[in-house]
Chain A
Amino acid sequence: MAAIKKKRRMGLEQKRAMMGYLFVLPFVIGLLMFFFFPMIQSFIFSLNVIEVVSGGYSLRPNGLNYYRNALFEYVSTSNQGKSFMVLIAEGLGTMASQVLLVVIFSFFAANLLNQKFRGRSIARAIFFLPVILMSGVIVTVDSGDLLQSSMGMTQTDAQEGAFQAVALARVLLSTRLDPRFIDFIVSAVNRIYEIVSASGVQILVFLAGLQSISPSLFEASNIEGATGWENFWKITFPMVSPLILVNTIYTVIDTLTNSNSVVMTIIRDEAFRSAKYGLSSAMAWIYFVAIMLVVGILTGIISRLVFYQE
């Protein structure tokens, strides 16, 4: 009797779990086939010397040599002879400022776009435009000669930005602020285009979050006599704070794994230009671990500050 009762209760839970597994199954298969197995294979490659033989390739065990090589001996000729570790550290440095600026900008933009004004839908479409232009077509077709000249546009843009920023830097230096702070501001101004075009998805996520806040909360606080400023910090900000975590992680990953970033370029070049496949795999794994650490630490810190409405 007890056995039957137990079985029935398990049955209900099991049924729901079974449905869960069934629903994720197609995705799991895809992930395993096109991500997990290739990843494991690249790990095997990083521990072996790969030799191309007729009809395929052969592996010769190489231990951790490639890792040692990447960490301590590798010198990048295309980056003023900096070592791999230094380049990763530099990449993380730029990433930090980039993430801060992108998250703040996208939150700001989402708040602006969430307000009611004339031409709002056009403004939203325009703010989403870079996502369409940047990530898809242009990047894939850029082997064509002409696109270089198209992309030349953004370069001249950046140069103009640089000229403006020199003037800005002078003004800021005369205020005797901390030079590091001035550096940050100047680099931010120089990278406006990059920042704006990297925040499309984040703006969209924030907008969705802002719109899912129940209007009754604002109604109640307005009746209690709260100002717009108080509403923003006491209602809007806590309610979208989980999305700040999401967007931070997304931006970190997006910036670091951007195929134009220095480290990614080196990894790609080692594999396809120098044909050092093992070394490239080892570098990719080191970089991967570094990114995981960053994301882990950030998640740990931010999730303490996040407010979850229950």
Chain B
Amino acid sequence: MKKKFRRIRTRRLNRSLGGDIFNIVIITIFGIFMVLPLIYAIMQAFKPLDEIYMFPPRFYVVNPTLDNFTDLFLLMAQSWVPFTRYIFNTLFITAAGTLGHVVIASMAAFVLEKHKFPGSKAFFTMVVTSLMFSGAVTAIPNYLTMARLGFLDSYLALIIPAFGYSLGLFLMKQFMVTIPDSLLESARMDGAGEFRTFWKIAMPCVKPGWLTLIIFCFQSLWGQTGSTFIYSEELKTLPYALNQILLGGFARAGAGAAAILLIMIVPIVLFMATESSVIQTMATSGIKE
């Protein structure tokens, strides 16, 4: 009798060995598909020039070298505008755009999910609709709008459009669903204003949500060349400058590979840093049902 009881308990608490192996195998198979491009980019950055142009291309590097990075830094040092300026531009645009987007999209998502005022449904439909329209076609009208607003040739041309990026609102609204209404209700009872309820109660609850948003927004702004809207050399972004290096011809391929790795690595590091919170347990609302 006692023995039988124990067997059931062990089955409940621990997964069977077979199930574990199955999990690991499946995850490894798909995982390999996902890491390959990253590993390839890393390999490329350490390949000497003759290996980069090898045909058929070889995946791994035989004689790893740091020449590509020294080349890249030499090219950077020769640049017309001090290279740190490009880095600052990109950092500033990315930080301002991401911050604005996360706050504005979360505010909108919060009231759309938790207030249900007249017209909120129509507005959300409009947001989803805007996800469906081709970006290529709005490119020219967008340019005209920018010109009319006087945003051309300034940081604003890249920062402000990031604020109204619909995907963020769409995702954020899904996360807002998980906040229990009773939690917000009790905050209001205690006399918290609407903004305070949003900022101090709702936002901490959906931390994984806005961390995800930060990652999305960061990486889309981080890769922005902005060459359509910004003409002054001293306002141009890092990817633009690195692109110029890439376009320098065959001999620059090594430096280019190093540049790509450097650009790629920043969002990945950001993701690694926030990952544990992004995909943490969501059920931490503090409400007992």
Instruction: Give the B-binding residues of A (Cβ under 8 A).
Output: 16-17, 19-21, 23-24, 26-31, 33-39, 41-42, 45, 109, 112-113, 115-117, 121, 123-133, 135-141, 143-147, 149-150, 152-154, 156-157, 192-193, 196-197, 201, 204-205, 207-208, 211-216, 222, 242-243, 246, 249-250, 253, 256-257, 259, 264, 267-268, 271-272, 277, 280-281, 284, 287-288, 291-292, 295
Contacts and interface: CB of A to CB of B under 8 A. Distances in A.
Given A135-B220, A146-B256, A288 B117 contact: no
A137 B263 contact: yes
B267 to A, nearest CB: 5
If over half of A's interface residues share one DSSP class (helix, strand or loop), that class is named, otherwise mixed; here it is: helix
23 contacts: A19-B115, A23-B107, A35-B133, A38-B142, A124-B279, A125-B271, A127-B27, A132-B215, A141-B246, A145-B246, A146-B253, A149-B57, A149-B253, A196-B33, A208-B209, A211-B282, A216-B289, A242-B177, A246-B174, A264-B134, A267-B134, A277-B140, A295-B132
A107 to B, nearest CB: 13
Interface in B25-78: 26-27, 30-31, 33-38, 40-41, 44, 52, 57, 59
Which of A121, A126, A144, A211: most chain B Cβ within 10 A?
A144
Contact of B141 (A19, A42, A193, A215): A42
B171 A205 contact: yes
A193 B35 CA distance: 11
A126 B36 CA distance: 10
Contacts of A136: 219-220, 222-223, 267
B41 to A, nearest CB: 6
A288 B132 contact: yes
Contact of A24 (B30, B112, B136, B140): B112
B152 interface: no
Which of B128, B132, B145, B149: most chain A Cβ within 10 A?
B132
Interface residues of B, number: 102
Nearest to A124: B279
B260 interface: yes
B189 to A, nearest CB: 15
Nearest to A287: B134
B161 to A, nearest CB: 5
B137 A243 contact: no
Interface string B267-289: 11001100110110111000001
Contact of A112 (B23, B120, B169, B278): B23
Contacts of B81: none
B166 A31 contact: yes
Nearest to A105: B30
Contacts of A205: 171, 174
Contacts of A125: 271-272, 275
B87 interface: no
B174 A292 contact: no
Contacts of B208: 208
A208 B127 contact: no
Given A31-B166, A132-B271, A133-B37, A207 B279 contact: yes
A16 B118 CA distance: 10
B133 A141 contact: no
Which of A27, A140, A215, A284: most chain B Cβ within 10 A?
A27
B99 interface: no
Nearest to A208: B282
B242 interface: yes
Given A193-B33, A267-B136, A132 B219 contact: yes
Nearest to B254: A146
A27 B128 contact: no
A141 B243 contact: yes
Interface in B150-167: 160-161, 163-164, 166
Contact of B57 (A37, A113, A153, A242): A153
Nearest to A154: B37
Q: Closest 3 interchain pairs by CB?
A: A30-B164, A144-B246, A136-B219
A129 B270 CA distance: 12
A30 B182 CA distance: 32
Contacts of A212: 178, 282-283
